[in-house]
Structures are given as structure tokens and as C-alpha cells.
Structure 1
């Protein structure tokens, strides 16, 4: 007993010391429109913070409390902040996606995000309200950790962000994207591709120095390949998960993915080396003249030395061969999770509905936001919270039991790749076909290949783990996670065009625990009131009967597979009209033939008397 008390005493001291080291880091974000011209091609409005763009980097240490006070001064656009990759364990209300865990913050309103950072690694923050973050509302979120296994292996730190960039406001592009004139759902093509929100930049480095380089793709659409000529590096982190160091020379980052790499510079200052980024052209329906897919920036050893253009390693981005994230082994050696308690099996489709627009689906549901944020439905539903139906027919909500092992099978019936992100979790990637590399697009030559539980490759002992993963074209993914974080979490494609057209679903995780642990701050409710968004009731805002969904938001109707009653009537009248038309043509046609034959019969020769045809006469008479 004495020994137990002794250990407990020192445990309390350790916790106290940890608490003393942690601090509160506060940011005040006044969100306004500013102007910028990052590629030198076109000045445009962008979302700035405190009158500045690019946006500030959020820097915290593991264990800190992060407070962000956001005041929306955009004037014409609602907003929010999602801290991408944060578990928000116990603070689900701070996750940020509008109509999932909060109401959208309307112009003139403010909201405070307040949570403890219990993770470390490379993250980012961005608006999560309709079409918002592609207009520039995104920045880096870095969580430093002195206990990282590589903490003593580098001298300095560099952050490199990559992104696609549009020259038009997203709200204007949206009108072209969801349109009768775009039935195929072709995504708007960016105007350029940026590194650190600019082009043709130089990253100054010292010789014989090891750098921790944090890479973030916070684009809205296009993945990019990354390499530095004549340099290799070691991968040590992916999406906030430390990995066993892996040597590599090229990476692929879909939108929302992150890497941390260790790079040791050469012991020479004679040359500068191209940092090459190559946009994934397979995602683009068209490539406009003048769009630079391959861009060069520089690892600069010497300002006075030449800055050569990069050498593209393949004529087309589909021929590039990056390091495969499936092979990364987490540093903590977390073993394959046991057989799942629950399996979710969904397939990606892109289809047209009665509006004529192209929508994205998981199975037969195109995600349509509810009238009440789903988290608020949980908190107001009482015992009904465990019934998935109250969250709406078109939110694709699935209720998860606390601490269940969940397996999600994601098949792709679409010919494009899709980077999927799960809020509130990192997941094990236990199977994916095809792998990165030259075979990634092989399935496009045939039919989609769905996952077959009776015929698959063996799962890895220590699966790769991350929060955003690319679903291959016409291939599949299998991921596993533990439902150990009560909350409402959205699972969605991070291509912003696809999320807006419905490629998402909700995980309602341990609703009874949510009711015990989550409480909504008053200022969050005030935001709902200012936005005129109800914050109680089911998906239809019904507070009397949670199973009555009358009036819920619905996806557009399906295009009928056969004839409807109205269609049959229209077809009948069309046929009658066609028959009348044909008969009319025949009658007039025969009349022409009759008159023509009669005229031919009556025509006099040059040596005959003129023949006159009298009206109502049956035969010609000679005058």
C-alpha cells in the first residue's frame, strides 16, 4: 500500500508539472475580404484575417489550450473554422463543420473555439461552410512536441504548403459547376498552382543542415506530386501520425493530406536545386492553354547561383511513381485492430438527378444538410438519439456504439480518385486496390473492381494510419477505427466540389455519451439565432415528434427509370400528333402527284389546239 501511495504521489507531481508547462494560446481572427494576386496573373478578392493574406500560422505545443475568437466581417458570406485532424475528444462542438456540429456564423456574428490540443504533428485549419475555403480561408496548424522521436534529429523547421488557385470567386464557379450546362459534373479547372501561396519562390537553406519540412496540401481539388531534384528525405510523420523513418524521393499529397520529412542539405553552396510540384492531371477534364501543371521553386543554397527549371520525370503525371503511404509503419506499432463489430459498405457514384445537375452519392444518398445541426439533434432528442432515422433520410447517418471496432469498405464506381477524410479519428488503412504508382489507373481499362471479403490480400500487421486517404479510380479502400470518441463526425470527400454535390455521410458515435459529455456554449447558440437556424429537433426541426421528418431538406428526385403517368399521356399525344402529321403529309403529297399527273396528261403538243380545263369538269374540252 505504501508503494502505491508513493507512485501515486509522483504521478500527481508529473501531472502538475505537465499542467504548469501547458499554456493558453489565443488568436483573435477578424475575417474580412482583402485583395491578392499570388500568381501574378489576376488580382481578386480573398478571405483575409486581420487584414492580411496569406493567413497566419497557428503555432501551439502539445498540451496547450487553443482559443480562437472569430468575428465574421465578410458582409456577404457565412463562415466557420474546422481544425483539420483534431480529435476534439470531449469537445465535439468545436469541430467546425456547419450543420454538423454548429450553425454557420453569419456576417456580423462571432464565435469562440476553445479546446485542449492533445495531439502533435502537422495539421491545418479551414472554413467548413459551403463553398468557402477555396477563396483563401485556410492556413497551417502546427503542434510541436519535444518528445517526438525525431525531435533531436533536425536543426530547423520549414513549412511548405501547396494549393490549387482559382481566379474567380467560388460562388461564381459554383453556378457553373452545378448547372444544366455541366451535366457531366466536370469540376472547375484552377487557374494556377501555388507553393507557399506564391510562385517562383526560393526557400533559403544552409549547407549540411537537417530540416524538418512540413508539407500540407490545402487545395480544394487537385492532388500534387512533390520532389526536390538530387535530394532524398525520410518520412517521419503523415497526417499527425509518427512513422518509422522511410527513405523516399517523391511524394503524392492529395488535398488535405500532410507529411513531415527530414532532409539533410548538401555540404556545398555551388548550386540551387528545383523543388518540383506536378499537378495530378488525371483529375482535370480539360487542361487550358497556359495552365502550368509542372512548377519549379528552389531550395536555395546560394542567392547568386543560377536557379534552373526543374526536370519533369514523366510526360504525364500518371507516369510518376511516388512513395506509397500504404507501406508506412506507425512508430507506435499499433497492431491491426480485431475483427469489426460493425461494417459500413458504401460505393461512390456520380449521377444526374431531375434538376439535370450532376450529384455525388454514397450508395443512393447524396448528402443533404439537415435543418438542425446533427449534434444539436443528439442533444435535444433524449432517448431517440440512438435511432439513425431522426437525423434525416438524406444525411446518410449511421449510429456507432461506443468502443466498437468499425470497418468501412469504400468502393469506387467512378473513374476519378477521391481523397476521403474522417473527422475526429485517425484510421488504419488495411486494404487498397490498386496501389500508388503506374498501376493506380489500371482499372480504368475495365469495370470497377469492388472489395471482395472472400478474396483479398492479407492485411498488414501494423497498418498505415492517417485521417485522409485517396480512394483509387474504380478501385476500393478498407479502413478500420475504434469508435472511442463520442461525437457527430462527418466522413467526406475533401474535393470541395464533391462535398458540395453530396459526397459525405455522418457518423453518430455513442449518442448517449455525447449527451453526457458535450455542452454547447451560449455564444454558439447565439450564432444559430443570428443565422435563423433552429437548434432543437430532428433533421426537419420537428421538436414534437422526432420521427416525423415532414419538411426535411431533400435531395432532388431521381430521373424515372420508366414512364410516369404524365410521361405516358405525353407519349400518347405525341404519337397522335405524329400520326396526324404523317397523314397530312400523305394527303398533300398525293394531291401534288394527282395534279402533276393530270397536268402531264392534258399538256398540248405544239401542233395541237389549246386544251382548256373547265372548273368542276370531269374531262377536258376543246375550245
Structure 2
């Protein structure tokens, strides 16, 4: 009886202490020049860019009224890393938990942040749109921090493109890009700009909250002659781990402590470096190495900028670290053997339209015609049958409190950062990478070395798989909802590198779509009742969105590339024949005029 009274008392105290934060956002274009080289439009909030940081405390409530002031595209907002326990409909990804927000529409996100604190971020989940600027940090302050510090700084890093993402996409998802090579950024940013100075005082401890809000490239960060002590990864506190640099993929967050020196006679470089190994080629003008500064003394000179292009020598001096060996401060033990194992093999393949797509087990994710959460809510007893969610959504049904294991084999020479919505997971096994594309490292449950799982595995929500390698994740299905699992290298998500976890469909039935979210669907003429094909006969998938048909039998990627090269050579040959063959009659205007007449007649 006393225990019940205390629980009720604590609940009442929590209701009194917690606060509601209301944000009214008018999302629109802002003229900016983030890297100081190329002016362009960025997507800002209330006429400003960079966008504001959401700063709240544990168990607070967030209400975001987001008006789409962009006249040419939809928007959405995902609160990256927030588990949205009990608020699945506020998670944000288009056609997963909501409809896209049309121009001149306002969507209301309303949720409580329970049992979470740390460093997170928000970003558009409409295509690669957040690369155009719709992004910002979220800081949830703990009531009792497990570490002490004097001051804190929020730090974001990005890769940066001069063109807007819709224009980039036209060239990327094209038959003229048969290898699927990712767009190369034009620069990197540090706190949405370049050449940043951070003023510090001697003998102090600084807390740095670091987020990689980029679309593609992982980055290295270090401060000369200083070390970082990692105390948090993706919002999960970890045992202090000292490193001289960190490696952070897109979507990941780290919180580190930095102890300043006792003397103030000099200032130090704070470098952020694009991972060159992720790029198919490096343009001559791409500054891989960017230099910012930790300033002890305003009167002292800043050191020279590190060599812009000397990636290998700069990175070779860093000791670095492997996040696999970070341990949660909670000492959360390895979860028991899984009730369900999802094994996916990732490949890149060219389909019949000549475009390269990302595949899980031979299928590329294609959005359904009805958001998947809304299909769950409108399907009743049929919600446990995965067929109703479409044959191209890579959907898996999970049941309440099952232990889920995801095995991902990467049959691709690239590095990939995968993010899970709605859960933190344990990283229990991961291979090193290999350059041998013909012999990738595939997970083998009978290999003792591969199943030598740690007692206290790393817990986070975004993790990298190495080139031609694998990882194994494990989590408990204790958060009913529809959750996206996808590559956070956003170009790969645009190629279809995603799957969907439909967790506890029977329990999701208690969820209600708000009137506002229904109106958002109506404003964009998107149905919110029916199966993946928007049919009310839930087992009738006629009209569903499907991936492109395969290439003809025997037509391989190498063959496709060879055909393109041969076509180029043939066209060059025809041009040469024309150029030299017509030379003798080039002065004969009668002949030339006759040629033009023939060409025009054919065109007509």
C-alpha cells in the first residue's frame, strides 16, 4: 500500500514538473551561403537559417505546428532517436506513419518525451530534403547528469551540396548513372558554416554534443593535443571512454568531455574531415580536411589551416576508436536468444529502366499508396498478415515482447549507416570490412568467433556496417508501432534501402489518427484507409506500387556499362565520320542547305 502511494505521489510530482513546449514553425526558403563559396536557397524556419535547437527536459511535452511555406514540395519532420513510445503517429516518415504535408498545410506533432534524455536531432523525412537545410538539434537535459562539466557546446557537422536535392536526384537516379555512384558533396560544414572558433578557458571541463546531420559522408573529428572522453552515444550514456578522435556516421550522435589545458599561450586546431574512402572519386576542389579552432587566447595567432586535401596523412596520425567496444553505463546485459531472426542481404542492382537500386533480399523498398500505420489501423483482424502491406515494402510482423535479431550482410563495397526508428538496439556482432567484392564476409551462426557476443553490448540507434561485411543487432519488441529501418546515407534510402517493422499490430489498433493528420492526407489527396494499393479488399493488391522489372536475362551491370561505353564510342565514330566526310563539301552551301531540309523534314 505504501509503495502504491509513493508511485502515485511520484506521478503527481512528474506532472507538476514537466512542461509543454509549443513551437510554431513557418517552414520556407532562406537565402544563405553556408560555405562562403556558393549562395543558394536553404530551408529555414520563421525566416531564419540555421534552424533553432529544441531544448527541453526529461518527460516534457513537445508540440510543433509546422506550416509548409514551400510552394513546390511536400515536407515532414522526424524526431531522430526519440522512441515515440505511445506516439507512433508523430514519428514523421512519409507513407510510414503519416501522409506528406502539402504546400500551405500545417501539421501538428504532439508527443511526450518519456524516459529519454541526451542528444538528438530533427530532420525532414521527405526524400533527401534535409540536405537542403530542414534540420536542427534536439537537447533533452537530464535531471541528474552522471558526469560533471563547466560549460557545454552544441556541434553539428554536415556534408554540403551546392545544388538543391531535387536537381541532384535527376542525375543520380538515372540510367546515365549505371553504377549508382553517390553524388559527391562540394564541401563540409561545422555548425552550418566554416572556420568556426570556439572560445574556452583554462582548466575547465567542456561537454561537446556532436551530431552528424549530413546526407552521406562520415566524418572524423579531433582537437590537436587534446583528447575526448566519450560519455554518450545516440542518447545512451556509456562508460567513459577516452579517445584522441571520433568517427561519426550520418545520423549518429556523441557526447564527449574535453578538458582544457592550464596555459593559454596558444590556440589549437579543431578539425572535421570527410571520409575519403566513401567517395567514388575526389574532385580537385573538394576540401576533405576542414579546420576550426579552439581559442584560448584572442591575442594569439590561429594556427595555419591543415592541408585541405591531405586526408591520408591526417587520418593516419589518429588513433581513433571502434564504437563496438563502448559499454552502456546501465550495464544492460546481452538479451537472450531471439524469438525472431530477420536476415537480409544487401545488394545494389540495375533494374529494367537502367537505374541502380538498393535491395534487401532482391527487393527494393517502394512506398505504398496508404501510410503503413494507417493500413494497420484500418485492417482490423487482417493486420497480422504481412501481405496487406504490399510486396515491395519489405514489411515484417513482430509480436509483443519478442526478442528480435537483425542480421545484415552487406554485399557492397560501400560503408552504410543504418538507423532504427522506435528502438535502441544492441550491436552484438560486426565484422571488419574487406575490399574483396568477390568474397564478402557473411555472418555464420556456426562460427565461434562471430558469435562471441559481448556481455554488455553497445546500445544505440544508428550503426555502420563495413564494406562487404555484416552486423548483428538485437532488441526487445516492447514499443508497439510501425517502425522504419533504413540506411541513413540518404541517397541509398532514395534507392530503396529500407524495411518496415510492424510491431504488435493488435496493440496498435488502440492508436487514433488525429483530425489534423487526416486533413493532411486529404490536402494531398492521399488515402488513409485501405491496404498498400489503397483497396478496401485488403488481400487485393491490384494497383500497388512495385519496383521496376528486372533487366533481360543475362544482362549484367558490367554488360550495361559496356553497352553505354560502346554507344559513346559509336557516337564518337559517327561524329568523326561526319566531321571529316563533310569537310570537302563544307563550302558548298547548296549541299548544306539540302542537308538541313532533309533533317527538318524528318523531324516534322
- TM-score w.r.t. length of structure 2: 0.89
Match of 1:191 in 2: 186
Aligned with 2:485 (options 481, 487, 491): 491
Give 1:111 shift: 0.5
Relative distance call for 1:456 and 1:251 in structure 2 (3 A) is farther
CA contact (8 A) 1:281 1:317 kept: no
Q: 1: CA distance between counterparts of 2:183 and 2:550?
A: 25
Q: 1: CA distance between counterparts of 2:22 and 2:350?
A: 46
Q: Give the secondary-structure state (helix, strand or coil) at the position aligned to 1:175.
A: helix
Q: 2: CA distance between counterparts of 1:445 and 1:508?
A: 33
Match of 1:69 in 2: 65
Deviations 1:182-235 (A, max 9, x none): 000011111100100111110111111111100100000000011111001211
Q: Does 1:530 align with 2:519?
A: no
Match of 1:212 in 2: 207
Aligned with 1:234 (options 229, 233, 258): 229
Match of 1:135 in 2: 132
Q: 2: CA distance between counterparts of 1:528 and 1:313?
A: 47
Q: Does 1:558 align with 2:554?
A: no
Give 1:18 shift: 1.7
Q: 2: CA distance between counterparts of 1:31 and 1:377?
A: 29
Give 1:270 shift: 1.0
Match of 1:469 in 2: 463
Q: 1: CA distance between counterparts of 2:548 and 2:112?
A: 41
Match of 1:273 in 2: 268
CA contact (8 A) 1:31 1:71 kept: yes
- Runs of 4+ that moved beyond 6 A: none
Q: Does 1:247 align with 2:242?
A: yes
Give 1:319 shift: 8.1
Q: Give the secondary-structure state (helix, strand or coil) at the position aligned to 2:154.
A: strand
Q: 1: CA distance between counterparts of 2:320 and 2:138?
A: 25
Q: Give the secondary-structure state (helix, strand or coil) at the position aligned to 2:436.
A: helix
Q: 2: CA distance between counterparts of 1:189 and 1:161?
A: 20
Aligned with 1:450 (options 434, 438, 442): 442
Q: Give the secondary-structure state (helix, strand or coil) at the position aligned to 2:313.
A: coil
Unaligned ranges ≥5, structure 1: 435-439, 564-623
Relative distance call for 1:205 and 1:92 in structure 2 (3 A) is same
Match of 1:362 in 2: 360
Aligned with 2:473 (options 475, 479, 483): 479
Q: 2: CA distance between counterparts of 1:320 and 1:129?
A: 36
Aligned length: 549
Give 1:126 shift: 0.1
Aligned with 1:339 (options 337, 340, 349): 337
Q: 2: CA distance between counterparts of 1:154 and 1:146?
A: 14
CA contact (8 A) 2:276 2:311 kept: no
- TM-score w.r.t. length of structure 1: 0.87
Q: Give the secondary-structure state (helix, strand or coil) at the position aligned to 2:168.
A: helix
Aligned with 1:156 (options 130, 151, 157): 151
Q: 1: CA distance between counterparts of 2:455 and 2:525?
A: 50
Q: Give the secondary-structure state (helix, strand or coil) at the position aligned to 2:216.
A: coil
Q: 1: CA distance between counterparts of 2:267 and 2:405?
A: 47
RMSD: 1.4
Unaligned ranges ≥5, structure 2: 556-604
Deviations 1:545-589 (A, max 9, x none): 1011000001100112259xxxxxxxxxxxxxxxxxxxxxxxxxx
Deviations 1:330-361 (A, max 9, x none): 00000000000000000110110000011111
Give 1:306 shift: 1.4
CA contact (8 A) 1:156 1:212 kept: yes
Q: Does 1:177 align with 2:172?
A: yes
Q: Does 1:86 align with 2:108?
A: no
Q: Which has the larger radius of gyration?
A: 1
